[in-house]
Amino acid sequence: MKYFVLPIILLLSISKNSTLFAKCKIPQLGEDQVTSFRREAISKFKERWTIQLNGPIGTYSVKATVYPPHQKKFLGLNRSAKTYSDHMILFPTINGEGLLENKVAKYFARHDYWVVIPTIDEINFKYDQQTTCQMDQMFRRVQQSAVTLFDKLVSISPNGRKFLIGASQGGIRTITSASIIPDLEAMWANVAGGDFPSVYARSNVDQIEEFRHRHMASLNLTNSDQYESYLRESLTFDPAQTCLKRNGRLAMVVALEDSSVPTYNQKFLEDACSPEQVRYLKSGHVRGVIDLWLKRRTVREFLENI
């Protein structure tokens, strides 16, 4: 890929931003402390968990839709219920439970899994020279929430085996979280990208395009090449970097016609992570995401084949 050669004025700006960035407080794992935890029943097969955390960059909450394990009725008879399951899945999506997450969760719950789908309070981005710090801080929150939610699951299911699954941004969060969960067994990531400067500068997803335009305007940058170079200088969190320390077996799905998370970005992550299994789809982003539901049995078999 060719990179834009930055003018001297912009290079000076980047140098100044790097100094500011060095002063940013990025919490270490475990610095955010749980201040409250509440479980509420939504229905017979569904709960809502709300966890409040407080740390160096303020108070925030993690809300999760939780599907406890349950067995199907078979010939009109209930199978004997377990007091706990030996499987648990964290499904770290970007916006919590949607139709895909609902269907995937129900499937795994019927096969004796705890399924947890979190939503994390977003940082209120200021769109200034500190924004890159906030981007890093947000992914530290993602990692902290993964550890916190698994801690809560372990208290309920002491012998549970830990898995992570996700698609799109959820796949990115899955791989990022895998680096700080030492007893993770396996994870599955659909159409996840591995180079944030490229994703933020090149993706055509509406939310990312809006974020990019606002951030670029605050920095007086005029094109995506400049923005990518700026992020490459400033960001420190990236799933490709965390792969060096990842735990658990990994399967990836790569969409070969993706522009939302450009395919070359997914291939970059594949090269960094060396997954045990890869599926290539001749499709775009949406089909690649839905593949998590279409191949749910394949996903389950991979997670359990340890």
- The pLDDT value recorded for residue 27 is 84
Sign of CA dihedral 101, 103, 106, 110: negative
- Taking the C-alpha atoms of residue 106 and residue 129, their distance in angstroms, rounded to an integer, is 43
Render each residue's pLDDT in the chain as its tens digit; 306 residues: 333 333 323 333 333 344 444 457 788 888 999 999 999 999 989 999 999 999 988 899 999 999 999 865 433 444 444 555 789 999 999 888 999 999 999 999 999 999 999 999 988 888 887 888 888 899 899 999 999 999 999 999 898 999 999 999 999 999 999 999 989 999 999 999 999 999 999 888 888 999 999 999 999 999 999 999 999 998 888 899 889 899 999 999 999 999 999 999 999 999 999 999 999 999 999 999 999 999 999 999 999 986
- The pLDDT value recorded for residue 258 is 95
Matching residue, tokens 């982003």: 285
- Tokens (6 digits) for 142: 């993602």
Q: How far separated are the first and last CA of the chain, in Å rounded?
A: 38
- The pLDDT value recorded for residue 20 is 40
The reported pTM is 0.85
- The pLDDT value recorded for residue 127 is 85
CATH code at 8-304: 3.40.50.1820
- The pLDDT value recorded for residue 66 is 97
Transcribe the chain into DSSP letters: ---PPPPHHHHHHHHHHHHHHHTS--PPTT-SEEEEEEEEEEETTEEEEEEEEEETTEEEEEEEEEE---BPEETTEEPPPPSS-SEEEE---SSS--HHHHHHHHHHHHBT-EEEEEEEPPP----STTHHHHHHHHHHHHHHHHHHHHHHHHHH-TTPEEEEEEETHHHHHHHHHGGG-TTEEEEEEES--S-HHHHHHH---HHHHHHHHHHHHHHT--SHHHHHHHHHHH----HHHHGGG--SEEEEEEETT-TTTTHHHHHHHHHHH--SEEEEESS-HHHHHHHHHHTHHHHHHHHH--
- The pLDDT value recorded for residue 72 is 53
